[in-house]
Amino acid sequence: MLKDKVALVTGGSRGIGRAICLELAEQGAKVVVNYAGSQAAAEEVVALIKEKGGEAVAVQGDVAVYADAEKMVSATTETFGRIDILVNNAGITRDNLLIRMKEDEWDAVLNTNLKGVFNVTKAAARPMMKQRVGRIINITSVVGLMGNPGQANYVSAKAGVIGLTKSNAKELASRGITVNAVAPGYIETDMTDNLGDDVKGKLFEAIPLSRLGRPEDIANAVSFLASDRSGYITGQVLTVDGGMVM
Amino acid sequence: MSAEIMERVKNIVVDRLGVEASDVTLEASFKEDLGADSLDVVELVMELEDEFDMEISDEDAEKINTVGDVVTYIASHK
């Protein structure tokens, strides 16, 4: 489905990003696995892809820093000659009650989860505009649609990503670039393991398909949006959450 | 020098914006006379950067209005 396409996945070493890298490679894409700190995990993803006969490289870079964003995009175009797919997946949490939330907790999450999407998209838009084709998929979250106590920073960033998705979709449409968002619900990853039991309990009760999501559930949606089959879809938010938000 | 630059700029503008070569004069404004939108101008700048192997900063790019602006800029930064 993605034969010979070139993809850059930010935060590709662990969790949902890891599953996205593996799935895109499975579908035939050449993958650049970006990581901020987890080099060993990123190299493992690359090794797994190569084992199956795919092509991949790991590239370090912090999406919150514009120079790093440019670096990872140029690493992509230099290694594989182009960039067809950008998955803005990198994200962090610094959960706290509003009343207790420190300014640096707010800033860190907004810088990585929202400004990071702006940075890498801006850097990737240039080569994509020249190619007259591109797929940008932003990973947001259902909490960006419905709010969540204890996550004022994370929810604000994820809601911001939805606005950015729509704005970029309109701006880049005439150049053959589509921009969509995938909003995962409650997915089993390191990030959700850190949620408090009270938060988990409330979320779990509200899932009609009554199971947690798997990273692969998100990766499948991303791989569809990255393919030629989604050419008439742009500016949309696809929730993959077991029916939690309708 | 400027005449040669003008010729290369003209070719790119004609190709990119689909206008007649005779319309691409030094005084012609990209947006008002040549029908370019803001994104067209951004792309034009990207293509000029490749053609002349130079970098035009966002700040300078924003000041570009006419074909003459481009030719002058390239001539003085080459």
pLDDT per residue, tens digit, chain A (246 aa), is 999 999 999 999 999 999 999 999 999 999 999 999 999 999 999 999 999 999 999 999 999 999 999 999 999 999 999 999 999 999 999 999 999 999 999 999 999 999 999 999 999 999 999 999 999 999 999 999 999 999 999 999 999 999 999 999 999 999 999 999 999 999 987 777 777 777 777 777 889 998 889 999 999 999 999 999 999 999 999 999 999 999
Tens digits of residue pLDDT in B61-77: 889 999 999 999 999 88
Q: Closest partner residue to B46 among A130, A171, A174, by Cβ?
A: A130
Q: Which residues of A touch B42 (CB under 8 A)?
A: 129
Put simply, whether B43 touches A (Cβ < 8 Å) is: yes
Among the partner residues A126, A171, A174, nearest to B46 by beta-carbon distance: A126
Q: B39 CB near a chain A CB, below 8 Å? A: yes
Asked if the Cβ–Cβ distance from A174 to B43 is below 8 Å, we say: no
A142: its two tokens: 């259902």
Residue A102 tokens read as 């420190």
Q: In which residue are the tokens 């319309």 written? A: B23
pLDDT of residue B1: 59
Q: Check residue A50 and give its pLDDT.
A: 98
- Residue A245 domain-assigned? no
CATH number of domain containing A29: 3.40.50.720
Residue of A nearest to B46 (CA): A126
- List the alpha helices (DSSP H) in chain A: 15-26, 39-51, 66-80, 103-110, 116-131, 143-146, 152-172, 190-193, 197-205, 215-226
Residue ranges of domains in chain B: 1-77
Q: Which domain holds residue A212?
A: 6-240
Spatial CA neighbour of A89 closest among A55, A130, A120: A120
**Active site (annotated) includes residue A154:** yes
**Residue of chain A with shortest Cα separation from B47:** A130
Fold of B1-77: 1.10.1200
The answer to whether position A222 is within a domain reads yes
Contact A45, A70 (CB under 8 A): no
Residue A158 lies in a domain: yes
Which residues from B are below 8 Å from A129, CB to CB? 39, 42-43, 46
- Count of Cβ atoms closer than 10 Å to residue A43 Cβ: 16
ipTM, two decimals: 0.79
Q: Is A246 inside any structural domain? A: no
Q: What is the model's pLDDT at position A201?
A: 76
Residue A146 CB neighbours (<10 A): 16
SS3 A85: strand
Question: A7 φ, ψ to 5°?
Answer: -120, 140
Q: One of B15, B23, B33, B37 is an active-site residue; which one? A: B37
| Residue tagged active-site, from A35, A66, A154, A186 | A154
What is the number of CB-based contacts under 8 A between chain A and chain B? 11
